[in-house]
Amino acid sequence: MGRAAVVIAALLTVFATGAAVAESKLEYHNRFKLMLDLATRTTDHVRRHLGDKGLVGYAHAMAEKNASEAERMTPPVDYALIHPHFLLVLENIERSFYFASRGNMERYRHHHRIVKRELNLLEAIASRERLDVYIIDHCR
């Protein structure tokens, strides 16, 4: 499945679910920034402590909840292009932690590379669309 198809599928999933939470643009923006900042900071910390299986398991539980909550968010029109990348970042962080907690470092690195790629795409689109979504450079 191509990248465009994945993005479209993610966007359709968000709009097709009845569980979407409607927020104001400000509420969405604030949650988006907080969730992304927490996810990237956690990723950075976990990457430096991969041998601590308890920490990685805890980070996985947090990432799972973060990704689940993001799926329920309804992006304002301004964020429609970056929301699928936001979801892919959070979902791949969750997946990377899942595999790290089980000692599968090859799959951990695979998902971590996807996170880095999606963060770059998210940042490029946000810049092009003139959206203020400061991304801390933790995952790169």
* Mean pLDDT, the chain, whole residue set: 86
Contact 53, 47 (CB under 8 A): no
What is the reported pLDDT for 133? 77
* Cα distances (angstroms) measured from residue 136 to each of 17, 53, 56, 115, 120: 30, 25, 21, 13, 11
- Please say if the pLDDT value at position 105 is more than 80: yes
Q: Is residue 10 part of a domain?
A: no
Q: Is residue 63 part of a domain?
A: yes
Per mean pLDDT, which range of 16-20, 56-60, 68-72, 92-96 is the poorest? 16-20
What is the reported pLDDT for 139? 57
Residue type, 59: A
- Please say if the pLDDT value at position 128 is more than 60: yes
What angle (nearest 5°) sits at the alpha carbon of residue 62, between those of residues 56 and 68? 130
Q: Is residue 77 part of a domain?
A: yes
What is the reported pLDDT for 2? 55
Dihedral sign for Cα 127, 80, 76, 69, please. Answer: negative
Q: Is residue 7 part of a domain?
A: no
Q: Is residue 4 part of a domain?
A: no
What is the reported pLDDT for 65? 97
* Best CA proximity match to 32, nearest among 77, 66, 81: 66
What does the pLDDT look like over 11-43, one tens digit per residue? 445 444 444 455 799 999 999 999 999 999 999
For the chain, percent of residues with pLDDT exceeding 90: 75
CA–CA separation, 21 vs 124, rounded Å? 26
Q: Is residue 44 part of a domain?
A: yes
Name the band, by pLDDT with cuts 50, 70 and 90, for residue 110: very high
Helix (H, G, I), strand (E, B) or coil at 49: coil
Number of domains in the chain: 1
Q: Is residue 82 part of a domain?
A: yes
Name the band, by pLDDT with cuts 50, 70 and 90, for residue 137: low
Q: Is residue 13 part of a domain?
A: no
What is the reported pLDDT for 134? 67
> Which pTM does this prediction carry?
0.80
* Residues spanned by the domain of 77: 23-128
